[in-house]
Chains A and B, each alone.
Chain A
Amino acid sequence: MAGIGGAVTTGRKARWTVLNVLVVVYALFPVLWIVSLSFKTKETLGDGNFIPREWTFDNYKTIFSTTEFVRALVNSIGIALIATAVAVVFGTMAAYAIARLDFPGKRLLIGVSLLIAMFPQISLVSPLFEIERGLGLFDTWPGLILPYITFALPLAIYTLSAFFREIPWELEKAAKMDGATPGQAFRRVIAPLAAPGVFTTAILVFIFCWNDFLFAISLTSTEASRTVPVALSFFTGSSQFEDPTGSIAAAAVVITIPIILFVLFFQRRIVAGLTSGAVKG
């Protein structure tokens, strides 16, 4: 895939290297900055230096000793995992039906999903705030899981139906001819082939749930269901006179770790998932 003109000269390589370094710096420096802050001691926090002059783990020790953060971390993980699992299972079912089966109301479902994907989330906050208070879901895990599933479903359906469409149609016919019921054709032929797509979708959906701030801050009021992004914005430090910057930075780094891991290990899949769902859907 070399550019037009053939031979790769060292000069061209060098130019690309410079460009690549620029991109990497662009992408990483805000992240490195918050990492740096999280390792700074109280005394050096205000020095404005990009690299800490003194390194310390104190900020991490502090946040893990407060229930405020630990509880929020548990909430974040639990809520995101449950929402992801449900959205992916339901999304897989619907996407399979859309890509493979002929049934009434299919186009409508596609249209509605797209509508929700483009929906301004704030428009749902007001009615959900009122409805959830009425149903006793306000400030509970299900109270957040439900809207997350709803907004993750279109993403899951689009990404997955793009993946499903890549599976050759004839395989399913072949399975039917080999004596499979539609259910067996799905479980034994389509599902194993779709597994990579499902996994990719799960990562994307998890990132979406993990990232959410608007629902989390609007539909929670206590530690019972507050997720980390919200807890971060409420951090005040252990006493009124203490600057929470170090703690916030440390907590921010902690919740960035899963994202970094996903990106490092599944870069290819994430790229494929994002582009297939959005462009080809």
Chain B
Amino acid sequence: MSHALRPPAEPADADPTATAADSKLSPKAKAALSEGKKAERRLGLLLCAPAILIMAAVAGWPIIYSVWLSLQRYDLKFPDRTEFVGLENYVTVLSNPYWWNAMWVTVLITVVSVAVELVLGMALALIMHRTLVGRGIVRTSTLIPYGIVTVVAAFSWRYAWTPGTGYLAETVAGGDPVLTEKIPSIMVVTLAEIWKTTPFMALLLMAGLALVPDDLLKAAAMDGATAWQRFTKVMVPVMKPAILVALLFRTLDAFRIFDNLFVLTAGSQGTSSVSMLTYNNLIKGLNLGIGSTMSVLIFIAVAIIAFVFVKLFGTAAPGGDGGGRR
């Protein structure tokens, strides 16, 4: 990250052609970059400098520092016993059943919520895109789950499922305290996650839908395709890049689930996600070494997910080409 801060003089990009030109040119004519071009480069770097500096200082440096911390025995409750222990923390974490339980919980929530959201989000996107009446109202109301503070939504769900307070606890769960058991808790958390983020998925998919030309669908209809065939054979293939981007974004986002879990179960009954477990070790347990180790492991997991997406689906992933679209 820090090597983004290169000096403006860039020999590799500098004009290599002037020297090749014929010898009758005066040395003055070799001026590689005109004032305008130089000013442009200076301005470019100057404008990016604050963003680069902040990102380097608040994201770049800490991530390196956390790798260093993960190699230490470092517990704030016993600061005297701090020492370099190499990979010991990794062995501790990776051989710990709590970690693996949290990993499975996270993966389960991620897979289920993203899968359901894809289907639900597609339906919602189609409704928002094609509805004949009240398009504004539909779009406005779907933005509410997206915009609302996750903690607020989580409290709403918590009270809804709490016996004695909630309507869902009585009607759906028959008065059972669902949030005190592992599997029902995870289901409730997944539902809350789906409710909150389906609109985001739907919006991304809707943008993809907008890229499907109406004429193409008309042509398919003339060619004898049913509505379902038009959807599967024309729409989905054309909007595939948008679908993949939406999936990637949501998968990475779901993987960091924390807020909903914190409010709904606080990680009890083995419902911790990896983020939740890391938080508990770090802020509650004040064990910086172990916490950092988990941080690094989560980072690696996210990198693997992103890598797999990019590998499987090629350049459709965002950033495959900074300027390329259409």
Residues of A at the B interface (CB closer than 8 Å) are: 1-4, 8, 12-13, 16-17, 19-20, 23-24, 26-28, 30-31, 33-34, 37, 45-46, 48-50, 90-91, 93-94, 96-98, 101-114, 116, 118-131, 146-147, 149-150, 153-154, 157, 165, 176, 181-183, 207, 210-211, 213-214, 217-218, 228-229, 232-233, 245, 248-249, 252-253, 255-256, 259-260, 262-264, 267, 270-271, 274-276, 278-281
- Inter-chain contact B282/A125, CB cutoff 8 Å: yes
16 contacts between A and B (CB under 8 A): A23-B128, A34-B159, A97-B45, A102-B40, A102-B41, A109-B48, A120-B302, A121-B258, A123-B295, A129-B282, A129-B283, A130-B65, A213-B149, A214-B279, A229-B259, A270-B143
Size range of the chain B interface in the assembly: 35 or more
- Inter-chain contact A97/B48, CB cutoff 8 Å: yes
Nearest Cβ on chain A to B260's Cβ, whole angstroms: 9
- Inter-chain contact B282/A27, CB cutoff 8 Å: no
Asked if B155 is at the interface (CB within 8 A of a chain A CB), the reply is yes
- Inter-chain contact B295/A125, CB cutoff 8 Å: yes
Identify which of residues 27-54 in chain B touch chain A, using a CB-to-CB cut-off of 8 Å. Answer: 36, 39-41, 43-45, 47-48, 50-52, 54
- Inter-chain contact A111/B319, CB cutoff 8 Å: yes
Given known contacts A131-B61, A150-B54, A153-B54, what 15 new A-B pairs fall within 8 Å (CB)? A23-B124, A33-B156, A48-B170, A102-B44, A103-B48, A108-B4, A114-B319, A122-B274, A124-B295, A126-B66, A126-B291, A126-B295, A157-B51, A249-B155, A274-B204
CA distance A259 to B147 in the complex (A): 6
Nearest Cβ on chain A to B322's Cβ, whole angstroms: 4
- Inter-chain contact A33/B144, CB cutoff 8 Å: no
Residue of B nearest to A122 (CB): B275
- Inter-chain contact B279/A281, CB cutoff 8 Å: no
Residues of B within 8 A of A154 (CB): 55
Known: A16-B133, A271-B203. A153 touches B139 (CB 8 A): no
B contacts with A: majority SS: helix
Residues of B at the A interface (CB closer than 8 Å) are: 1, 3-6, 8, 10, 13, 36, 39-41, 43-45, 47-48, 50-52, 54-55, 57-63, 65-66, 69, 124, 127-128, 130-134, 136-153, 155-157, 159-160, 164-167, 169-170, 195, 199-200, 203-204, 206-208, 214, 217-218, 221, 230, 242, 245-246, 249, 252, 255-256, 258-259, 262-263, 274-275, 278-279, 282-283, 288, 291-292, 294-296, 298-299, 301-302, 306, 318-319, 322-323, 325
